[in-house]
Structure 1
Amino acid sequence: MTRLVGYTRQLAVELDPAAGVAALTTAGVVRVFVDDGLADPRERPGLTECLAFLQAGDVLVVPSAAHLSHAVTHFVTTITALDTQGVGFRSLTEPALCTGADQAVDPARVLAAVEGLRRRLVSLRTRAGMASASAAGKRPGRPTVMTPEKVAMALELRNLDRPITHIARVLGVSANSVQRALAPLPRHPDPAS
């Protein structure tokens, strides 16, 4: 008898895995394994327990392939290992990636689904990296050319009614950099403050 076994993980800190668990329960899984967002994507105890629980004839069901794998290579390796064990795979949102005897294979749809998975995983890693940098007090992106000294000099020159292009030339930066740096600052600071 075929058992449907579910697995999901928290893809980002702000995303609750409860929606994935609910979707899997609605799909008829007999048991759901979950990893929280704090687990290292390469060392997930819930996934390890899930893979050990599966038996030949079972079908692993996930909300999307991104819940199963942290990289496309991991996805392919995992699906290949499941197939070798006689375990099927079903993604609720990516039918082209599902395995089993009743699945028609359209190579174009499979490749498109794998590319979609790759893009989603890159996006998740980028968001996680930006959140990590932000938590460490770092601002993601290119560093500004306007140091605090240059901003002070630009403000002083602007208070002398110098044009933005002149200020930019004096400081050796672009006019856009000067405008961005001066935008939040008052033009003539109030001496009483």
Structure 2
Amino acid sequence: MTRLVGYTRELTPGAGTEADAADLTAAGAVRVFTDGATTDPRKRPGLAECLAFLEPGDVLVVSSSAQLSHAVTHFLSTLTGLSDRGVQFRSLSEPALCTDAPSGAGPTEVFAALEALRRRLVSVRTRAGMASAAASGKRPGRPTVMTPEKVAMALELRRLDRPMTHIARVLGVSPNSVQRALDHLPRTL
């Protein structure tokens, strides 16, 4: 008898797993294993428990392949391990990656789905890194060339009606940098 067993994880902190778990239950999953957002996606007790629970003939169901793996190589090795144990795989959002029924997907569709998975996983890791940096007080992006001293000098030169190009030349920065820095100041000129 084929059992559908679901798995999901919280891809970003605060996103929750309730909606995915409901989708998996609606798809027929008899049990849904979950993992919360962790700092290391390779250490997921819910996934380990899910993989141990699966038996030959079962189908592992996920709402998206990104829920299952943190990298495409991990995804492929997990699918290989499942196949070796006689367990099938089904993704609700990527039918080209399913192994439980003939999807009719050719190599092009499979490769396109794997590339989409890779892009999604890169996006998830990037957002997690930016959230981590913001939590530690770091601001992503290139640092500004306009120090508080340069902004004060630019403000004083602007009050003397100097043109932006002159101020930029004096400070050794671009006119756009001066303009951006002065635009962020309150309008008390």
TM-score, normalised by the number of residues in structure 1: 0.94
Corresponding residue for 1:150? 150
Distance in structure 2 (CA, Å) of the matches to 1:32 and 1:74: 21
Q: Is the 1:5–1:29 Cα contact (8 Å) retained in structure 2? A: yes
CA change 1:174–1:52 in 2 (3 A) is same
Distance in structure 2 (CA, Å) of the matches to 1:21 and 1:88: 19
Corresponding residue for 1:179? 179
Q: Which 4+ stretches in 1 moved above 4 angstroms?
A: none
After the TM superposition, which of the residue ranges 93-102 and 18-27 deviates more from structure 2?
Answer: 93-102
1:140 aligns with 2:132: no
Corresponding residue for 1:159? 159
Instruction: Provide the identity percentage.
Output: 71
TM-score, normalised by the number of residues in structure 2: 0.96
Q: Is the 1:159–1:188 Cα contact (8 Å) retained in structure 2? A: no
Alignment of 1:50-129 (within 5 A): 50-100=50-100, 102-129=102-129
Corresponding residue for 1:35? 35
Q: CA RMSD of the aligned region, Å?
A: 1.2
Q: Deviation string for 1:41-70 (max 9, x for gaps)?
A: 001000000000000000000010000000
Distance in structure 2 (CA, Å) of the matches to 1:13 and 1:151: 37
Amino acid in the other structure paired with 1:2? T
What's the secondary structure of 1:155's corresponding residue?
Answer: helix
CA change 1:101–1:20 in 2 (3 A) is closer
Unaligned 5+ runs, structure 2: none
Distance in structure 2 (CA, Å) of the matches to 1:186 and 1:8: 48
Q: Deviation string for 1:145-172 (max 9, x for gaps)?
A: 1111111111111111111111111111
